[in-house]
């Protein structure tokens, strides 16, 4: 479809998708922050200051998986997850626009 034939909302959604997908990484999953003790009697965690760990949790071939995220990568991985969710939200919104076109029986050209 020619951009001039698109609604302003459709152009905005497509533009935002292109921006996200062309310049950024995306990863499907969510981050899980865990506090745990290691079991060493003289460690700070034995006094209540638990160790913090961040894991990327996702499903793969029908099973849940988790990958430890080192502290130095946490900000980047968090951004990738947020960007994935934003891409998915934009795709859902774009899909709703096209569903409405079909429901109204508007002309449907190759989009």
Q: Is residue 66 part of a domain?
A: yes
Q: What are phi and psi of 92, to 5 degrees?
A: -65, -40
pLDDT tens, position by position, 69-108: 999 999 999 999 999 999 999 999 989 888 888 887 766 6
- Confidence at residue 108, expressed as pLDDT on a 0 to 100 scale: 60
Tally of domains in the chain = 1
Q: Is residue 109 part of a domain?
A: no
Average pLDDT of the segment spanning 48-58? 92
Instruction: Give Cα 16 distance to the centre of its chain.
Output: 14
What is the domain extent for residue 24?
Answer: 9-104
What's the CA gap between 31 and 73, in Å, rounded? 12
Q: Is residue 4 part of a domain?
A: no
What's the CA gap between 31 and 55, in Å, rounded? 6
CB 36 within 8 A of CB 53: yes
- Confidence at residue 105, expressed as pLDDT on a 0 to 100 scale: 73
- Confidence at residue 109, expressed as pLDDT on a 0 to 100 scale: 61
> What pTM was estimated for this model as a whole?
0.73
* 48 three-state secondary structure: coil
More confident residue, 59 or 102: 59
Q: Is residue 21 part of a domain?
A: yes
- Confidence at residue 30, expressed as pLDDT on a 0 to 100 scale: 94
């Amino acid at each position: 479809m020619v951009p001039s034939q698109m609604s302003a909302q459709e152009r905005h959604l497509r533009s935002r998708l292109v921006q996200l997908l062309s310049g950024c990484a995306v990863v499907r999953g969510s981050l899980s922050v865990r506090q745990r003790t290691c079991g060493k009697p003289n460690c700070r965690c034995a006094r209540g200051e638990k160790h913090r760990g961040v894991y990327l949790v996702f499903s793969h071939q029908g099973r849940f998986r988790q990958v430890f995220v080192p502290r130095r990568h946490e900000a980047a991985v968090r951004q990738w997850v947020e960007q994935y969710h934003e891409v998915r939200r934009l795709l859902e919104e774009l899909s709703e626009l096209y569903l409405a076109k079909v429901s109204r029986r508007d002309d449907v050209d190759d989009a």
